[in-house]
């Protein structure tokens, strides 16, 4: 989720960390147990490829759409 937030809103790694900490309830609803720091977000980003992130983003958006329409 952290990477999706970073990419979706065009945030820096530090800003993504702040965003997650300010929106803990949303993170908890998405299954996050702990909020990652900016270093963890960066390390994870370097291990993932763009096509995977795009597909994951699409799947998450579909889940949010279903949730809104429920």
Q: What's the pLDDT tens digit per position in 11-59?
A: 999 999 999 999 998 888 888 889 999 999 999 989 988 888 789 888 8
Does the pTM exceed 0.75?
Answer: no
Identify the domain containing residue 29 by its residue range: 2-69
Decide: 41 and 6 in contact? Cβ < 8 Å.
yes
**Where does the pLDDT of residue 4 fall: very low under 50, low under 70, confident under 90, or very high at 90 and above?**
confident
Sheet strands (E) in the chain? none
Question: What total of structural domains would you count in the chain?
Answer: 1
Distance (Å, whole) CA 61 – CA 56:
9
CA nearest to 30, candidates 7, 51, 1: 1
**Is residue 4 within a helix (H) or strand (E), and if so which, with residue range?**
helix 2-9
For CA atoms 22, 25, 30, 33, give the dihedral sign.
Answer: positive
């Amino acid at each position: 989720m952290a990477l999706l937030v970073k990419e979706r809103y065009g945030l820096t790694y530090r800003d993504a960390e702040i965003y997650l900490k300010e929106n803990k309830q949303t993170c908890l609803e998405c299954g996050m147990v702990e909020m990652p720091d900016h270093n963890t977000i960066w390390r994870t980003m370097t291990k993932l490829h763009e096509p995977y992130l795009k597909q994951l983003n699409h799947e998450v958006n579909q889940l949010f759409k279903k949730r809104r329409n429920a």
